[in-house]
């Protein structure tokens, strides 16, 4: 028996960054908001306090903060000629679970996308001519200028540490000269740099590039955000990436929003509640709520006037597909949009080894580093290169954790006494230069429902079909060559170049930067949601997160995810509630 519950104004599916932002904004508007989270309650003071051991086995290798695949996995294949098989263990990406989601264990790099990223198709075709037929890159239906106030709001919520490079059109020394104009500087100054990033910055500047400090959600100083929530200075402990911060020094939903939101009488959080599908009205034109199951196996119908999908990318797509909302993407015809344009990131790097330098890699933070943006987006001339897109080059010092961190030179044995000797000799005296590149959308990369495998709830699993294309390999090789040039300028004893070659593998960790599948655009023929993340098919359904990206630029996604959530919340507050219906006419 399905138990029907009293209706609410808004139901949120998933309670990480976007769910917390939407809940805070809509409760401020006076709406009664209910958040359904499949995981359990997690908070800094009770679960991640400074007395809690940052156990690398527990958190990194036994995946305490990550999604559990035993109940709801996905299947994967590189292309349609293969049979997709279920993931049994997380590898390439690490979606979070429980309250706070993936934002609990992010590094904290908080970017704004370039103005040209938002009109990637029209910009590149105007400059370089028609794109390849199978490249399904498209414009976002929104501009950087429209999103700038929302970027600003998210950065000040989080207390981002950084240095502006473009203030109202005026280029500022020490910042990123390629960024779009911003209305004011970052709320906090940059983090204090350790040796490795400064060595990289000097070498990059010697070659004529423009190094600047990483925009960081790790606090460079004590900060109180606009909600009145205080954050503490970073202690450079090296436990950001894949770990929760116990020092209140990394911006997460727990450290920026929840202390205020959880006190509100018009907000309710219901944990251990797995949403199975979105419920539709009889005419199929509106969402009327959601159906979810609790840990006892009891199934509930939760009516709501507004439904917001604020889960991770893959789960939002899955809910759209199993709820039969919108037209699924068909790679043969190119018709449909749900599941279309799945994308990722492509990374590579160069390890540098020294005899005369000590870097102390255990002194680090998630977003501590120096970066150049000279080869990101269309910041450089792509004529004759055979690809579009780009990425940033970075020397960051994030951790020196003993299980995960053991760089060794070429020719080192893979195990045994020789390997141990190389680890011991190079641990303190090696660093790396990394590349972090865009992935353009492609006709053959998409998400759909698997015809064979089902999850524990009896629903078809989500199927991921993805591989890097020639565009990504050419672009990544170009970035890697630039990284090698800078590495040589840094004058190491020796180097080891780690290119990204061959097919995409879902096994080794790369990034948790999955995008696409519920893409935004200017019309329902090629997108799932409009510029306000409102479903074209159901005006009272909003779909948040990086699934809205029509392709993946060369940056980390969280800053743009937050900005888009704020824009959607503003549109609901100022437009939708006054006149419920489509905010953009098809």
Task: List the catalytic residues.
Answer: 513
- From CA 396, how far away is CA 269, in angstroms rounded? 37
Angle formed by the axes of helices 558-571 and 144-158, nearest 10°: 110
Structure tokens at 215: 């925009």
Q: Which residue has the tokens 């473009």?
A: 166
**How far are the Cα atoms of 54, 321, 425 from residue 459, in angstroms, in the given order?**
36, 10, 52
Task: For residue 507, give both structure tokens.
Answer: 């096994």
- The backbone torsions φ and ψ at residue 559, rounded to the nearest 5 degrees and listed phi first, read -60, -40
Number of H helices, E strands in the chain: 12, 22
Determine contact, residues 313/446, Cβ cutoff 8 Å: no
Q: Which residue has the tokens 């949120």?
A: 12
User: What's the rounded Cα separation, in Å, for the pair 167 and 160?
Assistant: 16
Q: Give the residue among 224, 458, 494 at the shortest CA–CA distance from 355.
A: 494
The Cα 135–Cα 141 span in angstroms is 18
Residue 104: closest CA among 152, 67, 134, 151: 67
Cα distances from 284 to residues 249, 287, 538, in angstroms, run 46, 8, 8
Cα torsion 524, 527, 531, 534: sign: positive
Burial category of 147 from C-beta neighbours within 10 Å (exposed 0-12, middle 13-18, buried 19 and up): buried
Structure-block tokens of residue 385: 């290169």
DSSP state of 383: T
- Radius of gyration from C-alpha coordinates of the chain: 23
Q: What gap in Å lies between CA 216 and CA 160, rounded to an integer? A: 5
Residue labelled with tokens 């990406």 = 93
If you count them, how many residues does the chain have? 586
| Greatest Cα pair distance in the chain | 73
Alpha helix ranges (H) inside 387-440: 417-426
**Contact by Cβ (8 Å): 301, 2:** yes
**What tokens does 432 get?**
């790396």
Vertex 276, ends 446 and 508: CA angle to 5°? 45
């Amino acid at each position: 028996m399905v138990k029907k519950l009293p209706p609410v104004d808004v139901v949120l599916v998933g309670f990480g960054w976007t769910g917390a932002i939407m809940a805070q904004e809509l409760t401020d508007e006076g709406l009664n908001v209910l958040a359904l989270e499949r995981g359990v309650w997690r908070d800094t003071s009770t679960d991640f306090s400074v007395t809690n051991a940052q156990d690398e086995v527990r958190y990194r290798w036994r995946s305490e903060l990550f999604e559990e695949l035993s109940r709801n996995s996905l299947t994967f294949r590189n292309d349609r000629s293969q049979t997709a098989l279920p993931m049994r263990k997380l590898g390439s990406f690490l979606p979070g679970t429980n309250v706070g989601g993936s934002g609990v264990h992010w590094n904290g790099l908080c970017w704004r996308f370039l103005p040209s990223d938002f009109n990637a198709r029209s910009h590149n075709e105007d400059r370089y001519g028609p794109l390849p037929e199978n490249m399904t890159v498209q414009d976002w239906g929104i501009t950087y200028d429209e999103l700038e106030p929302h970027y600003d709001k998210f950065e000040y919520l989080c207390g981002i540490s950084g240095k502006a490079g473009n203030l109202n059109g005026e280029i500022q020394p020490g910042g990123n000269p390629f960024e779009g104009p911003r209305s004011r500087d970052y709320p906090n100054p940059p983090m204090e740099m350790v040796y490795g990033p400064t060595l990289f910055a000097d070498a990059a500047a010697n070659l004529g590039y423009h190094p600047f400090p990483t925009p960081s959600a790790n606090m460079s100083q004590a900060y109180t955000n606009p909600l009145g929530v205080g954050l503490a200075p970073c202690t450079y402990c090296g436990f950001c990436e894949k770990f929760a911060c116990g020092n209140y020094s990394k911006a997460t939903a727990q450290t920026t929003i929840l202390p205020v939101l959880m006190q509100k009488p018009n907000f309710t959080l219901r944990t251990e509640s797995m949403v199975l599908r979105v419920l539709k009205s009889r005419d199929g034109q509106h969402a009327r709520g959601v159906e979810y199951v609790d840990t006892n196996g009891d199934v509930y119908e939760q009516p709501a006037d507004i439904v917001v999908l604020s889960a991770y990318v893959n789960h939002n797509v899955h809910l759209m597909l199993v709820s039969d909302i919108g037209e699924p993407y068909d790679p043969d015809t190119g018709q449909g949009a749900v599941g279309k344009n799945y994308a990722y990131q492509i990374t590579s790097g160069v390890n540098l080894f020294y005899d005369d330098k000590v870097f102390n890699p255990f002194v680090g933070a998630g977003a501590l580093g120096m970066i150049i943006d000279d080869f990101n987006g269309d910041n450089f001339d792509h004529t004759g290169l055979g690809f579009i897109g780009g990425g940033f080059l970075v020397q960051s010092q994030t951790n020196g954790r003993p299980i995960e961190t053991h760089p060794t030179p070429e020719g080192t044995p893979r195990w045994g006494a020789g390997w141990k000797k190389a680890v011991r000799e190079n641990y303190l005296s090696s660093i790396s230069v990394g590349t972090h590149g865009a992935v353009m959308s492609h006709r053959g990369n998409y998400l759909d429902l698997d015809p064979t495998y089902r999850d524990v709830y009896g629903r078809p699993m989500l199927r991921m079909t993805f591989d890097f294309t020639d565009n990504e390999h050419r672009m990544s090789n170009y970035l890697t060559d630039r990284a090698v040039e800078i590495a040589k300028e840094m004058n190491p004893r020796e180097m080891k170049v780690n290119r990204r070659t061959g097919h995409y593998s879902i096994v080794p960790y790369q990034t948790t930067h999955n995008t696409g599948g519920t893409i935004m655009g200017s019309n329902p023929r090629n997108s799932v949601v409009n510029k306000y993340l409102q479903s074209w098919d159901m005006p009272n359904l909003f779909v948040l997160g990086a699934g809205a990206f029509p392709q993946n630029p060369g940056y980390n996604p969280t800053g743009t995810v937050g900005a888009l959530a704020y824009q959607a919340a503003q549109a609901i507050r100022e437009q939708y509630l006054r006149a419920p219906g489509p905010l953009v006419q098809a």
